[in-house]
Amino acid sequence: MKKRITSEVESNLQVGDSTTDIVEFLEKQKWIYDFDRHLNRFQARLPDKNAGTTSIHKYQIYLYVDDEGRFSRFDVVDVFNSV
């Protein structure tokens, strides 16, 4: 799954893409996201497939932008929650 997420980002976003391009990409993927203005990044995650369930393992996607709001890099991070 991490490789699939990485591939999706790499094939759809290029360094220098605008904030509008990033938002369009996130909405097209139907990922849940917000923007952290203090860290200059979008934080996204895939929606839970089964509503009402708790997943122990998820992926957090961080899409960083520069001071002009242009895409600069990304990270896909494993996140583990306790039940």
Measured CA to CA, the distance from residue 14 to residue 37 in angstroms comes to 21
Residue 27 main-chain phi, psi, to 5 deg: -70, -35
Owning domain of residue 48: 2-80
Give mean pLDDT, residues 15-26.
Answer: 98
For the record, the structure tokens of 3 come out as 């490789």
User: Which CATH number fits the domain that encloses residue 36?
Assistant: 3.30.310
More confident of the two residues 83 and 43: 43
Residue 52 in this model has a pLDDT that exceeds 60: no
Supply the angle between the helices 2-12 and 19-29 in degrees, to the nearest 10. Answer: 140
Mean pLDDT of all residues belonging to the chain: 90
Q: Could you report the per-residue pLDDT of 24-44, keeping only the tens digit for each? A: 999 999 999 999 999 999 999
Judge contact between 23 and 13, C-beta under 8 A.
Answer: no
pLDDT value, residue 53? 57
For the record, the structure tokens of 75 come out as 């990270």
